[in-house]
Structure 1
Amino acid sequence: MLQLEAETLTALRAQRPRAVLFATSRHWSADWSAFANVNQLADIGPEPSGLRSVVVPNYDGAADLACALKGIGYSDFAIVAGPAELSTVRDRVTGFQSELPGVPVYHNAFSRDGGYSATAKLLANGRLPDCIFAVTDVMAIGAIAAIRDAGLTPGADVAVAGFDGIPLLRDVSPQLTTVALPLDWIGASALELPWLKLAIRHPPAQCSTRFSCASRPQVGIAEQIGEAASSPVIAAQVARTWSRELTNLTS
């Protein structure tokens, strides 16, 4: 499972680098023990590997996101994910499902196009969840595009959440709800590790709820809408109420 990494390390060591840093989303069954005694080698990865490591909180971050989404009213979910054999995918899916058991998973390529294809497929099959959790922000960007191409509005008809907090999100609309990792901190910490005797570092992760996952309507709104359909006066009152709510959300 680690042939490519071993070949890469051999080639790099021939160049006599001061240190080697692996940033990987490895196969869940990969055994890194053979690398443990290599000097000046460190790893950014989903779980402790016997190396000096920055361990990304994939499981806990996804579980926290699921709790946050439940807390703002979502109840029907789907997961758009990369290949199931990758540790990052496995940990983020199982973390999310630890709080929301039984959420269906749609696997595809670990890319923007994979997020698009998986989302387009689930929508074409008649699946319309409240919220789609894409296991990376890049896949979430593809999911947003697929929702639009299906004639739906991301964040309104179908909410979308991602994971990573990549800088590209500043150009994405609607603003994406995500588990934001401190990417600069992770990189800086990883560069320190090759010279330490043994270290495992755990970066914090923060759930950032944005407009791609607005709060769901509270109990009672359906009844208001039903009354509004038969009464112009009540319709006007409901419209004013929701106008104020939207103003509060965007201010």
Structure 2
Amino acid sequence: MAAATTPTWDPGQYLRHSRHRARPFADLLAQVPELPGDPARIADLGCGPGNVTTQLAARWPTARITGYDNSAEMLARTEEHAGPTAGGGRLDFAHADLTDWTPTETYDLIASNAALQWVPGHLESLPGWLDALAPGGTLAFQMPHNIDAPLHVLMRELAGSAGWKDLLGDALRPTDSVHDPLVYLDRLEALGCATDVWETTYMQLLTGQDAVLDWVKGTGLRPVLTALADDPEARDAFVAAYRDLLRDAYPAKPYGTVLPFRRMFAVARKKA
């Protein structure tokens, strides 16, 4: 049986839907209160290609910001964003694996956009990350909370069917990779934070042929594409079968294809 797969990322595919992927981070940052440091020190966990990390520089122009990611492919795309910022701050990027990332300095804000669902045990990392915040600092993150959506259910059913389960095994992200919002609220409040947790469902209007498949090729389908990378025939067969299922689940309209996408947000402020 195949072992759990660490996805190989394709920045170009990921950025094909950059507007929809960036909007939740903007909605998250809108709820982050004033930071204690001036200039602020900020970490972006799971920064990807760096395009949304620039939102941090726009909000806090003098801040010194570091984006962390474990994908060499994604980090290569961050180079166009690195360097001094227009407001006098600085934007840098570094390799880090969030499964064992331990802060070595004090931050005013630790933020994460759609990354922690890929980090097993991330709930247990929260105390250490909060310890690294300055008094009055903030931990803010958002994650997809739609593992029960057809998008994922159909993928899991297909991967677990005859002909695929022996090839893919447990390659897909587990169904408990994101906890119920109340779990995060309870944990962060117990750690002494003033916490705001909420959910939003975005009615994402996608365009183009097989738009939902195109979307998921940049994220949720990456473990399958990675696991089958050495068997292009099997990879293409899985994608074709999954495409047909998605066409039925998300029918195209004259104006595009609607992909309802639920996300969970958390903003936790450390006591001053």
Fold in common (TM above 0.5): no
Structure scoring higher RCO (CA < 8 A, sep ≥ 6) equals 2
Higher-Rg structure is 1
Identify the TM-score tier after normalising by the shorter chain: 0.3 to 0.5
Structure (1/2) with the larger strand percentage: 2
| TM-score, normalised by the number of residues in structure 2 | 0.40
